[in-house]
């Protein structure tokens, strides 16, 4: 009996000691973790050694959970899933080395240092997936737009206990079709390019398709053919259709002919295409903070306009954008007013370099096309009252404007927004230009394929728009402006990988030479 009583007391004592030791151990771990984090703030050399540039986010995370460790109690499903996703970071256009992959994947006995680095890795990966790895690059940022809208601390706090990393990433990424199609092609290319046996296909010949092994290989890599090895399965018509798919990818008229333009695009290495896709994924992410808002996006390389309401694409249309010598600037602003029957205030350089030479050769040109001259005092002069032999580029004391009406270069209406440029969206009297495949034709302003439909969407009043459209043939029209009750954000972007009207990915011309590809 004494032996049993002694054993019972011993077990009770051990249990008490164990609980006390465990509580002391937890408290000590929390204190050690807190000291680690404080050192990150106070010792810049230490933070730099761990490659942790923003310890405030880590601090906020661990403060919220009372400095408890998250990853030291054993490998969680969240942790394992994250490391597997990070292993394939290149499929998202990201470099896993930036997120400590080598360190995290090689440590078998986690430490407090491991704990902090893993937390930092996840937060940085989520930020870059959501909002890109660069800052906003706009010629004019009239809204003070920033792409730092994700709170990585809250995202991790809300998901690490039970969440799925892949679900988080799916939620964080841009939802646009252009982004999704770009990432899908990048994932496919990585499957081949990251293989040690990969050799870049070099398409230089226009021989019969079935014998053109390099062509078949390239079309297979891009997903236009089901095989590149079993040529017996590839009929001539199948290869022709695959080539048409390739031509559509590069915004070439899909005639299935290996002409010079098609060959020039086929000569672009897949590794270079991959770099371009990565660049454009980041461009999509930079504007991802526009989610859950109503805004217009004009994309210069695709020469298109899209109206979004929250996550939904409301309408899409073709546009005409600036020529390379008169480029349309990237910007963000707000459309606050729509003007019916606008005057076209001709930019000075256009008046001097384009209109004046024609007028001096054809004295009736200004009059026939509705152009007026405004003198230095603001008086309107008729063109036929001027002695054009006394006028030159160096002596032209006038402003030129075109009267309102169907022949006006701005068409029947324009959309005004603040910017340091003489820039707006507008109708046009040249509807034929929208049939062109490449629509880089304007002097920077943006011409719209469907201006009346857009005005109706913004006003939410079809009758108002129709009333003014019916007046378009009346004489002596004058500008009439209406302010929008709710201004609409407008973003002019430069993204060379976007989808067409059918949702298919297109690599558009780098018309302003902004893609820096290696």
The CA–CA distances, whole Å, from 146 to 93, 156, 284, 321, 488 equal 21, 22, 13, 25, 17
DSSP code per residue over 196-253: TT-----------GGG-HHHHHHHHHTTSSS-SS-GGG--HHHHHHHHHHHHHHTT--
Q: Token digits for 105?
A: 């994947």
Residue keyed to tokens 């407008």: 490
Q: Give the span between the Cα atoms of 92 and 185, in whole angstroms.
A: 11
Question: In Å, what is the CA distance from 302 to each residue of 36, 94, 445?
Answer: 50, 25, 15
Catalytic residue among 120, 289, 332, 445: 445
Residues 6+ apart with CB under 8 A from 331: 138, 139, 140, 141, 142, 419, 421, 423, 491, 492
426 carries an active-site annotation: yes
How far is CA 61 from its chain centroid?
30
Q: Which of 88, 395, 426, 476 is catalytic?
A: 426
Q: Do residues 121 and 99 make contact, with C-beta atoms less than 8 angstroms apart?
A: yes
Q: Report the SS3 class of residue 180.
A: helix
CB atoms within 10 A of CB 191: 12
* Residue 320, both tokens: 């005409």
Active-site residues, by number, are 426, 445
């Amino acid at each position: 009996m004494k032996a049993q009583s002694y054993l019972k007391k011993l077990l009770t004592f051990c249990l008490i000691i164990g609980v006390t030791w465990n509580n002391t151990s937890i408290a000590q771990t929390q204190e050690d973790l807190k000291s680690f984090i404080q050192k990150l703030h106070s010792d810049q050399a230490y933070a730099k050694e761990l490659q942790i540039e923003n310890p405030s986010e880590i601090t906020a995370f661990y403060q919220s959970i009372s400095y408890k460790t998250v990853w030291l109690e054993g490998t969680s499903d969240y942790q394992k899933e994250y490391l597997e996703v990070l292993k394939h970071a290149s499929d998202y256009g990201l470099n896993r080395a930036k997120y400590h992959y080598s360190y995290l994947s090689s440590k078998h006995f986690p430490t407090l240092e491991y704990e902090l680095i893993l937390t930092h890795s996840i937060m940085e990966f989520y930020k870059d997936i959501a909002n890109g790895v660069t800052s906003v690059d706009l010629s004019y940022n009239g809204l003070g737009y920033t792409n730092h809208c994700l709170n990585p601390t809250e995202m991790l706090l809300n998901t690490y206990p039970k969440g799925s990393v892949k679900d988080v990433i799916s939620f964080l990424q841009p939802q646009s079709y252009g982004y999704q199609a770009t990432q899908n092609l990048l994932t496919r290319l990585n499957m081949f390019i990251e293989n040690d046996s990969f050799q870049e296909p070099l398409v230089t010949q226009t021989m019969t398709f079935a014998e053109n092994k390099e062509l078949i290989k390239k079309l297979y890599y891009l997903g236009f053919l089901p095989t590149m090895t079993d040529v017996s399965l590839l009929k001539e018509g199948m290869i022709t259709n695959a080539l048409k798919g390739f031509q559509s990818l590069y915004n070439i008229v899909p005639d299935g002919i290996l002409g010079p333009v098609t060959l020039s695009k086929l000569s672009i290495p897949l590794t270079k295409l991959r770099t371009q896709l990565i660049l454009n994924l980041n461009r999509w992410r930079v504007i991802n903070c526009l989610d859950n808002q109503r805004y217009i996006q004009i994309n210069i390389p695709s020469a298109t306009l899209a109206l979004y309401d929250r996550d939904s694409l409301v309408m899409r249309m073709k546009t005409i954008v600036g020529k390379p010598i008169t480029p349309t600037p990237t910007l963000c602003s707000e459309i606050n007013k729509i003007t019916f029957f606008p005057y076209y205030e001709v930019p000075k350089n256009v008046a001097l370099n384009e209109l004046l030479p024609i007028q001096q050769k054809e004295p009736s040109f200004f009059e026939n096309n509705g152009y007026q001259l405004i003198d230095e005092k603001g008086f309107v002069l008729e063109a036929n009252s001027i002695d054009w032999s006394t006028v030159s580029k160096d002596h032209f004391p006038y402003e030129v404007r075109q009267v309102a009406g169907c022949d006006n270069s701005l068409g029947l209406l324009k959309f005004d927004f603040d910017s340091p440029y003489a820039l707006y969206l507008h109708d046009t009297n040249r509807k034929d230009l929208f049939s062109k495949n490449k629509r880089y034709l304007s002097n920077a302003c943006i011409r719209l394929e469907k201006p009346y439909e857009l005005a109706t969407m913004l006003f939410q009043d079809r009758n108002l728009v129709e009333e003014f459209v019916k007046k378009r043939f009346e004489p002596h029209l004058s500008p009439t402006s209406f302010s929008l009750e709710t201004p609409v954000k407008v973003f002019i972007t430069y993204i060379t990988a976007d989808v067409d009207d059918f949702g298919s990915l297109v690599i558009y011309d780098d018309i302003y030479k902004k893609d820096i590809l290696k």
